[in-house]
Structure 1
Amino acid sequence: MAFEPPQRLVRALGELPESAHVSDWLGQLPGLAEAALARRGVQAQRVQAPGGRSSLVVLVRYADGTPAALKLAPPGLRPDRELAALAHWGGFGSVRVLDTRHHEEDGALLLERLHPEVSLRSLPEAKALLEACGTLRRLWVAPAPGHGWETVAERTSEQAEVLRKAPPEAAELASAALAAREELTAAPAEELLLHGNFRQGKVLAGERAPWLAVGPDPMVGERAYDLARLVRDRLEDQMASSAGAAGARRRVNKLADALEVDRDRLRGWTLFRAVESGNRALAAGRRRDAELLLEFAGWL
């Protein structure tokens, strides 16, 4: 079969700083996918589309008919960190890894098959947030001693450097976001394993559990950082609501209370992450996305 990467993946990888290396990887992808399938003795059924923004996912079957999913990501996106996080969770709250024997050779992940077309976004908003909170409770565990994951402070330090060069239209919000980050990282916070990229679309329906998280970008730090991305989920719906800024603040308070997270810390990380994402969208020419993100940040 043809292993044509979905356009969503091509566009997203093209926005990365190392996009030249990613282009090479995309060109080699058909051969890489064939080799990864052969090593694991599985047969491709179809490429998942529209798929994700950081990897190619191929739905596959073992010879005995058992379904699975093969995930291939560029080496620069550190699939080894994703594997380490999934192994640490051991399928509790997250997708399960089926086979790790060939990961060091090609970086591919062979995972249990979930239902890629059914995420929490298919549920009514209140129910989706309830299930999302339940999933996060299972994922927030202590990391192993001597873990090799980035901390929230380290990850956001790099992002802060970019934000300091924000264009004039985002400069005021960038200053507010940088000040919030400075305050949030001034004192030691929790050290828990975080999903790092958690939102409703990253939680899929499964067979052995109703909902399981996929696609972590793991790091170690406080829960408020992980929860911050969920605050702005279904952003266009929030922006279209008549509730406006008051609605955004209520959402922060509701999620903070549901997961016993400090409201001010959640608001601060939500502000930082929204402005950082908006600045990246501006740099990539995604003006509509940038405007939504920065307006939302202004509400906070």
Structure 2
Amino acid sequence: MASKRKYKGIDQLSKRDKIVVSLMVIVPTLLVLWLVWFPAVGTVLLSFTNWDGIGPLSGIKPVGLQNYIDIATIYPPFWPAIQHNLIWLAVLFFIATPLGILFAVLVDRGVSGTRFYQTSIYLPVVLSLALIGFIWQLIYSRDQGLLNAITGGTTDWYGDPDVNLWAVLVAASWRHAGYIMLLYLAGLKGVDPSLREAAKIDGASETTTFFRVILPVMRPINIIVIVVTFIESLRAFDIVWVINKGRNGLELISALVTQNVVGEASRIGFGSALATIMLLISSVLVVIYLRIAMKED
């Protein structure tokens, strides 16, 4: 008879094991508290104050909701930044994400040169958005850019406020599509082949099979993609900051936070209020995702 493995309870562990287990719990908890929760709570508290971040802590003056009132009423870049973030979300969700799904389906089907295409599409994902901004500068440059050389135009794609947001979104979508492809490709590899066979026997086309059988099965992946896309649209920062520091048509909430916290006129309280607004918006979808995930478990 095979011997059954016995697992010790916490009370049965040796003193040394208890110390090890305690350290494995306490150390990560302290790191999370110090690196995540302490800054988050501190940001929320500072959002109700007026402080330049340079003087002593005694110089912090409580102002109540005044920072939030000023943001909504007398801070011109705020509402354009909200609009730009919504446009960013719409483009990533309705254009870049479907492109990523299409790439994943094509690669999963094993088209000729699959490894080459998979590597090429995924390669931008390993690059930072700041570096991608510099790469696309070679295409968008007004005087020496590839795009103007082909079209014969003189458009300043990064400098013209009427087009620079859309030009940046093309670069951001180039990266985002590769990330979505990777997520869905992993999901497609885990789908039971018998589902495809059953749908084929029933006479369903490949398109019908994907949308009515395969995609619903990958519901966890779908939820993750929605959350990732939502958060990516909010925390977009690198590429617009290296272009013009989030000004002249490229206003985003994240750029406004940086302008006020570490900019020329440092306003820690005001910037913290903007960061708190970002935190609240991003938390909505994350909480919905966690509720769905926990309910399924």
Shorter-normalised TM-score: what interval? under 0.3
Looking at secondary structure, tell me which structure has more helix per residue: 2
- Which one has a larger percent strand, Structure 1 or Structure 2? 1
TM-score computed with the length of structure 1 as normaliser: 0.22
Asked which structure has the greater CA Rg, the reply is 2
